Amino acid sequence: MSGIGRWLKWVLGMGGLIGCVWIESAISQYEGDIPPQPGDAAAGRRLFRNRDWTATGLTCIHCHADFNEKKTPDGYIRPGYSLFNSGYRTELHTWNGEILGSLREATSICMIRWMTPRVEGATEGEAPEKHHLRQIMAYLRSDELVQEKKARPVEPMWAKDLPSDRLLKVGEANLGQRVFRRSCIHCHLDDGSGPGPSLIRNGYSRYQIAKKIRGKDNPGLNGLVMPPFTRDRLSDRELINVSSYIFQK
């Protein structure tokens, strides 16, 4: 190898090494759990359930239960999974199917996507406040929520295709109304008081409604995007019926 080649290799090698060390330290800073302080879990519970502190009016409870959905259902099926017993899950999913190994990262991704003040021109927001993150983590890991320190990962089923136009046309609006009351109404109040827009006379086709629900090519509204429902949270049959109901609404 020529002198120049060796030199180049050395420079690239060092650059890579420095880059790795830099990324490594950025990650460990991010991952390092800030020790919880007294009162954090109670504060975190309030943040989880109360929408008045977020920039978008959306908070965790709109998308995730914090109780056992099977044993004590409250009548709603939310787009995200319950975070009951999730405090020590070691495999977690983001809204778009990426797999993560850290609760802190998963929580912070949700806050940036849906809760913090919007960044102009982007469909996301600013980084969350450190103390909010610390308090919410303390709540998710509190005795109230965690019963066992091992938790199996959830198994979301992402929808690859939308039902055909022909199927969407035969949806039953009266059955769709039931789906609406269970899965949509807590975000889409008829009087428009949010956090999502009122869906009365929305002007969307059935296909566009179905696309919105499955999170396909959704540009969102003012930097906020509706969370997608996977097929295990909302079946294709329910999708077809609710799209018909919203189409007629």
* Interface stretch with ligand HEC, choices 11-19, 23-31, 56-64, 159-167 (CB under 6 A): 56-64
Cα separation, 111 vs 54, whole angstroms: 9
Among 41, 45, 64, 135, binds ligand HEC (CB under 6 A): 64
What is the CB-side half-sphere exposure of residue 84 using CA atoms within 13 A?
12
CA angle, 94 as apex, 91 and 95 as ends, to 5°? 145
Is 189 a binding residue for ligand HEC by CB under 6 A? The answer is no
Among 45, 89, 141, 214, binds ligand HEC (CB under 6 A): 89
Is 114 a binding residue for ligand HEC by CB under 6 A? The answer is yes
Among 112, 146, 154, 175, binds ligand HEC (CB under 6 A): 154
Shortest gap between Cβ of 132 and ligand HEC (angstroms)?
8
The single residue listed with the structure tokens 């179905």 is 210
Residue type, 1: M
Shortest gap between Cβ of 2 and ligand HEC (angstroms)?
51
Among 40, 41, 43, 62, binds ligand HEC (CB under 6 A): 62
Residue 80: count of CB within 10 angstroms of its CB: 20
List of residues 6+ apart from 50 with CB closer than 8 A: 59
- How far is the CA of 4 from the CAs of 8, 10, 12, 51, in angstroms? 6, 10, 12, 61
Among 65, 110, 168, 240, binds ligand HEC (CB under 6 A): 110
Which residues on neighbouring strands pair with residue 93, listed in sequence order? 99
Among 220, 232, 236, 237, binds ligand HEC (CB under 6 A): 220
Is 138 a binding residue for ligand HEC by CB under 6 A? The answer is no
> 10 vs 158, which CB is nearer to ligand HEC?
158
Is 95 a binding residue for ligand HEC by CB under 6 A? The answer is yes
> 7 vs 43, which CB is nearer to ligand HEC?
43
DSSP state of 132: H
8 Å CB contact between 60 and 77: no
8 Å CB contact between 48 and 63: no
> 18 vs 220, which CB is nearer to ligand HEC?
220
